Structure 1
Amino acid sequence: MSEHAFPPEQREAVYRVIAERRDMRHFCGGEVPADVLQRVLAAAHQAPSVGLMQPWRFVRITDETLRGRIHDLVREETERTAAALGERAAEFARLKVEGIAECAELVVVALTEDRERHVFGRRTMPHMDLASAACAIQNLWLAARAEGIGMGWVSLFEPAELAALLGFPAGAEPIAVLCLGPVEEFYPRPMLEDVGWTTARPLSELIAENGWPTTSPNA
């Protein structure tokens, strides 16, 4: 055991919050206390970012009319996604894919307009700005779960339309609409498994050694 390891009970808490994190769609109104919201956003801001670029911006939506217009954008894209799914369209249409109307807090996460100036870490892999912002979102997710607050990541929207709605400068790009708030209970397992949409694959199928696996896990 490394001398730098946390005590057993603290390690167990870290692994527990990872295992019990859920992409929540069902909320029960209420509110997120200001100090809790500040803590989870601070956790997001502590995420690693390549070159310390910190390419994220968090836009809290407190205007109900604006929330409604974001909801409209998501509904429109949900309909387009259903149409694109072909034979699974009706099945998808029955899924609850967002909780914008019911959640206590709505936060839009965006990439900054000036991230192109960061060369460190992006010269060969320019998508590291997105990877860094995703780390921030995961931090927020885990912190919210530890606080007993549900969070759902909504990605069903046209980025350009949401950017225009929120008055983003040219080059800034929204990547997530986050629903946060109290929930009656956390799903015992991922919701898409519970409703039969898909099944998570085991880790053993996704690990290889010294190169790409010669046999596809789906074979």
Structure 2
Amino acid sequence: MTAGKHFDEAAVSILQDIILHRRDVRGNRFLSTPLEDQVVDQLLSAALHAPSVGFSQPWEFVLIRDTTVKQRIKASFNEENEKALPSFSGEKQTDYVKLKLEGIMEAPLNIAVFYKPAGKPVLGQTSMEEAGLYSVVCAVQNMWLMARALNVGIGWVSILDAEKVKRILHAPPENRLVAYLCAGYTDGFYTQPELELLQWEKRKMKEAVIFKDGYTPALPVIP
């Protein structure tokens, strides 16, 4: 076995910056400038080098630039967005209406990311079948970080009917839609996540989500 590459503190600092400044980009921030083929290749290469359970590489990517296809996907978003509105009430519902939650038409490139089951036993996936899906999410994260390093915006659209998207894209029946991404150059990146700036949610503190050697046992009930 040959020795792997060793990184210095400068590389660590750059990676930390990329992680801290990654953002979900909405449609009102995308520019119409097409992404160069070389840039798209860099995004996909990053995805293809993600870790995967049993080295199964269970991902497939559909690149979408056609306006008609985008319009059909956008229609699915509009339907699902209307369904989601009653889930919120009061000020939350008012704020929800104001949010621009996708960039399907504005982004020059859409990328549908699918999980394709292996159809055979996969090392490491025999107990936790969902590890295959998690592998695809790792590929999405790799792509997102590479995009940020290239100053390219990516927005993940989850308000969609996955089965309708599959039909629109003629996906094989066994494939599962994991992510629908909007990608393109942007007029700028927020200093904080947009929903944090809008106070939709507060950032969780580290102390609230990290436990040592298991969760704290419940206190005994005193009769």
Does TM-score exceed 0.5, indicating one fold? yes
Matches within 5 A, 1:52-63: 52-63=55-66
Unaligned runs of 5+ in 1: none
- The letter of the residue matching 1:192 is L
- Find the partner of 2:67 among 64, 69, 72: 64
Secondary structure at the counterpart of residue 23 of structure 1: coil
1:180 maps onto 2:163 in alignment:
no
Whole-Å Cα distance in 2 between the matches of residues 81 and 208 of structure 1? 33
State the number of aligned residues.
Answer: 212
Contact 1:67 1:100 in 2 (8 A): yes
More off after superposition, 32-41 vs 83-92? 83-92
Contact 1:149 1:181 in 2 (8 A): yes
- The letter of the residue matching 1:109 is V
- The letter of the residue matching 1:72 is A
Find runs of 4+ consecutive structure 1 residues off by over 3 angstroms. none
1:104 maps onto 2:99 in alignment:
no
Whole-Å Cα distance in 1 between the matches of residues 216 and 182 of structure 2? 37
Contact 2:65 2:108 in 1 (8 A): no
More off after superposition, 67-76 vs 137-146? 67-76
Secondary structure at the counterpart of residue 115 of structure 1: coil
TM-score normalized by structure 2?
Answer: 0.90
Secondary structure at the counterpart of residue 60 of structure 1: strand
Judging changes above 3 Å, is the alpha-carbon distance between structure 1 residues 118 and 24 closer, same or farther for their aligned structure 2 residues?
A: farther
Deviation at 1:62, TM superposition (A): 2.0
Whole-Å Cα distance in 1 between the matches of residues 216 and 130 of structure 2? 25
Judging changes above 3 Å, is the alpha-carbon distance between structure 1 residues 10 and 86 closer, same or farther for their aligned structure 2 residues?
A: same
Matches within 5 A, 1:1-219: 5-25=6-26, 26-87=29-90, 88-112=92-116, 114-214=117-217
1:164-192 deviation digits (Å, cap 9, x = unpaired): 11111111111211011111110110010
Secondary structure at the counterpart of residue 32 of structure 2: coil
RMSD: 1.7
Contact 1:51 1:118 in 2 (8 A): no
Contact 2:30 2:187 in 1 (8 A): yes
State the identity as a percent: 33
Contact 1:27 1:182 in 2 (8 A): yes
- The letter of the residue matching 2:10 is E
Unaligned runs of 5+ in 2: 219-223
Secondary structure at the counterpart of residue 54 of structure 1: coil
Whole-Å Cα distance in 1 between the matches of residues 63 and 14 of structure 2? 29
Deviation at 1:159, TM superposition (A): 1.0
1:118-145 deviation digits (Å, cap 9, x = unpaired): 4322221111111100000000000000
TM-score normalized by structure 1?
Answer: 0.91
Whole-Å Cα distance in 2 between the matches of residues 188 and 56 of structure 1? 31
Of the two, which has the highest radius of gyration?
A: 2
Deviation at 1:86, TM superposition (A): 3.8
